[in-house]
Amino acid sequence: MPEENTWYAFTKENISALKDDNIGIYVIGDINKVPVYIGSSTSARTSIKGRLLSHLRNKRCPKGKYFLCTLARVTSPHVIVHCIVRFSRFCKRIVMGLNRPMIYAA
């Protein structure tokens, strides 16, 4: 399994190495590893692995070349938001909805 807080190439092979039930924060970065998308997973039903594969499959982040993740031990939306704040200095827009913040850098 990829290590937390380490950038990996945004490929199906690397994403597939994640555990199926990981929850927490994930960051998709551009060629320079600057975040272009930050998202969260708050349940095993919508794991980090599933969300990243969905982004890759649907080409939602065309600038995405790398990803990293930070696993959460608690699924409270407040904890998730607190974790996201670490990356927010790169972001221009924050959209809150369905207890799941989505942050776009571009």
Tell me the per-residue pLDDT of 2-51, one tens digit each, with 9 for 90 and over: 676 789 999 999 999 998 888 888 888 889 888 888 888 877 778 899 99
Domain ranges of the chain: 8-104
pLDDT recorded at residue 104? 45
Model pLDDT for residues 56-101, shown as the tens digit of each residue: 998 878 889 999 887 766 555 665 566 566 655 555 444 444 444 4
Can you tell me the distance from the alpha carbon of 103 to that of 101, in angstroms, rounded to the nearest whole number?
A: 7
pLDDT at 105: 45
Q: Rounded to the nearest 10 degrees, how much is the dihedral formed by the CA atoms of 77, 100, 57, 7?
A: -50
pLDDT at 54 over 60: yes
pLDDT at 97: 42
Burial class (CB in 10 A: 0-12, 13-18, 19+), 20: exposed
